A and B are shown apart, each in its own frame.
Chain A
Amino acid sequence: MEILVCVKRVPDSAENEIVMNSAGNDIERDDLVYSVNEWDNYAVEEAIQIVEKVGGTVTVVTVGDADADEILRREMAMGAEKGLLLQDDAFEGSDCKGIATALKGAVEKGKYDLIFTGAQADEGAGAVGGMLAAMLDLPYASLVNKIELGDGKLTIGREIEGGNREMNEISMPCVLSIQTGINEPRYVGIRGIRKVSGVEIPVMSAGDLGVDAGSVGAAGAKVKKIDYFVPEKGEGAEMLEGSTEEIIDKLIEILKANGGL
């Protein structure tokens, strides 16, 4: 089984306090700590578990600059055999469709039975997998939280509302976006990362991929972020203040008044 997993380097939401910059039009990006998108770890883990069962290769790919090397190596330390970096100035400023276009080029340069993405990344669009599948005319399922291997096909579960799971049969090759909770991604230690530090990661440009530079990046983007702002706050909560003891006393009064004690 040849599996390609598309991953992304994102600001680590657990490590950063997001604040506006002094101009008030973007977030402060100078000291942001980056890591691999949380959903992608589940996608890579799932791919590794499949290959451990039936053999094959897991390749991790990302669209990014030289900094993206570290997240590819992190996923390779988990057990992905190969990495692939799609790097070109032309990709800068891509919208979801631009990223999907670059990835399509990479898929067409290989031969994959399965293509995984995380169900979403930092911007919460959850769009790249579905776009990639449509561009490749492959079947697609999003929010996948269960995979059973069959002969030339898979039985997959999708997370839908209310804790329900929608079961589908899907033919291969296909594109799946993987939801958190499908597995428990393995721990990666410093030693694991050191082990893959020497592995060569090929870099492919728009030209290498056969991607028209005008169809990606800022030039091809039809969806563009204009600015960032802090949303106007509603009425907000009644904040309890004082010493911990005072706060607890007030809280207990509130709990009593509302039938909570």
Chain B
Amino acid sequence: MAQVFAYLNHKNGVLEDAAMELINAAKAISSEPATAIVCGSGIDAVATAAAAIFPKVIKVDNAALDYPNAEVVRKALVNVIPAGSVVLFAHNTFSMDCAPGLSVKLNASFVADIVGIDGVDGSTLKVVRQEFGGVVSTHVGVDMSAGAVVAVRPGTFAPDESKAAGGAVTAADAGDLSAKRKFIEIVAPEAGDVDITKADILVSIGRGIEDEENIQLAMDLKEAIGNAAEVSCSRPIVDAKWLEASRQVGTSGCTVKPKVYMACGISGSFQHLGGIKGGLLIAINKNPNAPIFQVANVGIVANIVEFLPALTEKIEEMK
């Protein structure tokens, strides 16, 4: 049975919550005790936190790993992980940077962004992935005979919050960590004119708004609702430069927790939903099969270009 490793992300000395999900992902693959790997510089506290979740922890402590530069981390992992292993990552911007290349260097199979594990059949791992924005799913067979690198979408597995693993930490030597890519700095996003995280009601628009001039329809609704409301959006609207980046909700934008989130013409990718942390989710979309209806509290099948002005008019009438 393959040995399972889990690479754990941490920031500012704190282990990311995904670690508690990865231990359960590891258990779905193998009954053998899983090993966590933490890389960094001065990471004793992180390793101790990992040992509460994983039975075994490998700590790679090296000044060159002070920032998790994917190229440097990959070298460390190639030095530490034996051939034929299964390596788990949380699917995020780091795994996208590091994991595909790692699979080449380990000569292992690679599968990204899985949303389920459907069992192990001999040396084949059967996983579930989504395509077309979650409209359809696929079963995928991953040959683990020479090992596998697997990136698991956060939220796929329930977190194991017991923290009773009582694991042992061992230190490993990173080996040569020279790299052709050098980390410089993190640049925080520019503050915009509006702070969507403060709004009670978000009128959030996506591709369904169709045209730049239709942005005004959302602005009009916001005006009608009043001061508690603000207009936010999904990624394609910012990519098209129709609204500023500070209005973007999602894992690559803002995390919001309004009282009411009105998703207008937003299909509901997991990256977008990852930025909504509470409140009543109302989805308005002309496609009755839009994945957003599976997670919304209230759904309306309508073309927002027609529906938003009608709603605005009604609210104005009530004043």
The chain A residues found within 8 Å of chain B, CB to CB, are 11, 13-14, 17-18, 20, 27, 96-97, 100, 119, 122-131, 133-135, 138-143, 155, 157-171, 174, 177, 180-181, 184, 222-231, 233-234, 236-240, 244-245, 247-249, 251-252, 254-255, 258-261
A251:B300 contact, CB within 8 angstroms: yes
Residue contact A166 to B183, C-beta cutoff 8 Å: yes
Interface locus among B26-34, B38-46, B166-174, B290-298: B290-298
Q: Which of B264-319 contact A (CB under 8 A)?
A: 279-283, 287, 289, 293-302, 306-307, 310-311, 314-315, 318
For residue B241, which residues in chain A have a CB less than 8 angstroms away from its CB? 184
Contacting residues, chain B, for A123 (C-beta < 8 A): 129, 131
Complex alpha-carbon distance, A157 and B133, angstroms: 26
| B241: nearest chain-A partner, CB-CB | A184
Evaluate contact between B294 and A236: CB separation under 8 angstroms: yes
Question: Which A residues are in CB contact (< 8 Å) with B74?
Answer: 134
Q: Known: A139-B179, A168-B181, A237-B296. Is A126-B318 also a contact (CB below 8 A)?
A: no
Given known pairs A13-B133, A126-B100, A130-B99, the reply for A169 and B93 (CB within 8 Å) is no
* Extra pairs beyond A122-B132, A127-B100 (11, CB < 8 Å): A97-B110, A126-B112, A131-B104, A158-B97, A223-B141, A230-B137, A237-B297, A248-B311, A252-B318, A255-B260, A260-B201
- Residue of A160, A222, A231, A245 contacting most chain B CB atoms (<10 Å): A222
Using Cβ atoms and an 8 Å threshold, which residues of chain B touch A174? Answer: 180-181
Is the Cβ of B109 less than 8 Å from the Cβ of A222? yes
Choose from A124, A135, A227, A236 the contact partner of B293 (Cβ within 8 Å): A236
- Tell me the complex Cα distance, A229–B116, Å: 13
Q: B97, A167: Cβ atoms under 8 Å?
A: no
For the side of the interface on B, what is the size category? 35 or more
Complex Cα–Cα for A159 and B125 (A): 31
Collect the chain B residues with CB atoms within 8 Å of residue A244's CB.
302, 306-307, 310
- With both beta carbons as reference points, the residue of chain A lying nearest to B300 in the complex is identified as A240
Taken together as a complex, chains A and B put the C-alpha atoms of A167 and B293 apart, in Å, by: 37
Indicate if the CB atoms of B188 and A164 lie closer than 8 Å. yes
Query: Chain A: which residue is nearest B141 at the CB level?
Result: A224
Q: Is the contact region of chain A dominated by helix, strand, or loop, or is it mixed?
A: mixed
Pair A163/B245 contact, Cβ less than 8 Å: yes
Residues of B close to A181: CB separation below 8 A: 235, 238-239
Asked whether B131 lies within 8 Å of A122 as measured between CB atoms, the reply is: yes
The residue from A129, A140, A240, A245 contacting B298, defined by CB atoms under 8 A apart = A240
Q: Are A234 and B294 in contact (CB under 8 A)?
A: yes
Asked if residues B315 and A261 are in contact (CB atoms below 8 Å), the reply is: yes
Q: How many angstroms between the C-alpha atoms of A181 and B110 in the bound complex? A: 27
Contacts A163-B253, A254-B282 given; does A158 touch B141 at CB 8 Å: no
A-side contacts of B179, CB under 8 Å: 139
A168 near B260 with CB under 8 A, answer: no
Rounded to whole Å, the gap between the CB of A183 and the closest CB of chain B is: 10
Does B134 sit at the interface, judged by CB under 8 A? yes
Instruction: Judge if B138 is at the interface, Cβ distance under 8 Å.
Output: yes
**Chain B neighbourhood of A167, CB < 8 A:** 183-187
Known: A181-B238, A240-B299, A247-B302. A134 touches B188 (CB 8 A): no
**Closest A residue to B78 using CB positions:** A134
B132-157 vs A: 1/0 string, CB under 8 Å? 11111111111100100000000000
**Residues in A whose Cβ lies below 8 Å from that of B64:** none
